């Protein structure tokens, strides 16, 4: 094989195969995607796919871990642990949008899971943990007088997550001011000050 022919061959490492799988899962749905579909989309045999991943569930788990790890990295960052509760909430919302844009196909897949597999149930539990930590931070912000009294923390956490998660429907990868814009809209509103 010539160097030119070798250079044109696509890479079939775990990273590229995971990308193929996530694309297929998002297009067809996880349940409707077979290993045959995945191997055809990757242009390799099923046995070559199995060389890197034990099966479809392992691919799903790896994809969901990538999305979840990104979100929890934001929660565990210095900006999410220091400062006033409201400052920390802004940092987290901004970081969530950054993760969403950077990992759009993976987060899209995460938001579509319904608990039909062990990996999906794991991901849903981790999302509940994430939301619980946001609700606790909202509660801190209310107690500190940074968010108006009477705001239900769990509801506010779900609304913030819903705002951020809706971005998967229309965001496009690439440089943008989207993280700052979403955080500003979430905490300052969209109406002019009076």
The CA distances from residue 83 to 25, 49, 91, 100, 108, in Å, are 39, 46, 10, 24, 30
Within 13 Å and on the Cβ side, how many CA atoms surround 106?
A: 23
Query: What pLDDT shows up at residue 90?
Result: 95
Domain ranges for the chain: 9-53, 57-188
- Ramachandran angles phi, psi of 121, nearest 5°: -65, -40
| DSSP letters spanning 65-118 | HHHHHHHHHHHTSHHHHSS-HHHHHHHHHHHHHHHHHHTHHHHHHHHH--S-SH
CATH architecture entry for 9-53: Orthogonal Bundle (1.10)
**How far is C-alpha 190 from the chain's CA centre?**
25
pLDDT in tens, the chain (194 residues): 444 433 433 456 778 899 999 999 999 999 999 999 999 999 999 998 888 999 999 999 999 999 999 999 999 999 999 999 999 999 999 999 999 999 999 999 999 999 999 999 999 999 999 999 999 999 999 999 998 888 888 888 889 989 999 988 887 766 679 999 999 999 888 777 76
CATH architecture entry for 57-188: Orthogonal Bundle (1.10)
Q: Do domains 9-53 and 57-188 have the same CATH topology?
A: no
Q: Beta-strand (E) ranges in the chain? A: none
Q: For 192, which DSSP code?
A: P
pLDDT digits (tens, 9 = 90+) for 34-54: 999 999 999 999 998 888 999
d(CA 159, CA 134): 11
pLDDT digits (tens, 9 = 90+) for 144-165: 999 888 888 888 888 998 999 9
């Amino acid at each position: 094989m010539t160097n030119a022919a070798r250079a044109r061959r696509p890479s079939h490492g775990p990273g590229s195969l995971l990308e193929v799988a996530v694309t297929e899962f998002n297009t067809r749905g996880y349940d409707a995607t077979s290993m045959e579909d995945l191997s055809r989309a990757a242009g390799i045999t099923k046995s070559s796919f199995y060389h890197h991943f034990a099966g479809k569930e392992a691919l799903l788990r790896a994809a969901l871990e990538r999305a979840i790890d990104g979100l929890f990295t934001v929660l565990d960052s210095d900006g999410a642990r220091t400062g006033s509760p409201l400052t920390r909430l802004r940092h987290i919302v901004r970081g969530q949008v950054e993760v969403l844009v950077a990992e759009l196909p993976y987060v899209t897949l995460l938001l579509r899971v319904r608990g039909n597999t062990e990996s999906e149930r794991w991901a849903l539990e981790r999302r509940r943990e994430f939301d619980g930590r946001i609700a606790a931070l909202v509660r801190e912000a209310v107690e500190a007088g940074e968010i108006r009294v009477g705001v239900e923390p769990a509801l506010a956490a779900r609304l913030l997550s819903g705002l951020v998660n809706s971005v998967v429907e229309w965001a496009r990868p690439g440089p943008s001011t989207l993280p700052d814009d979403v955080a500003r809209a979430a905490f300052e509103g969209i109406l002019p000050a009076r």
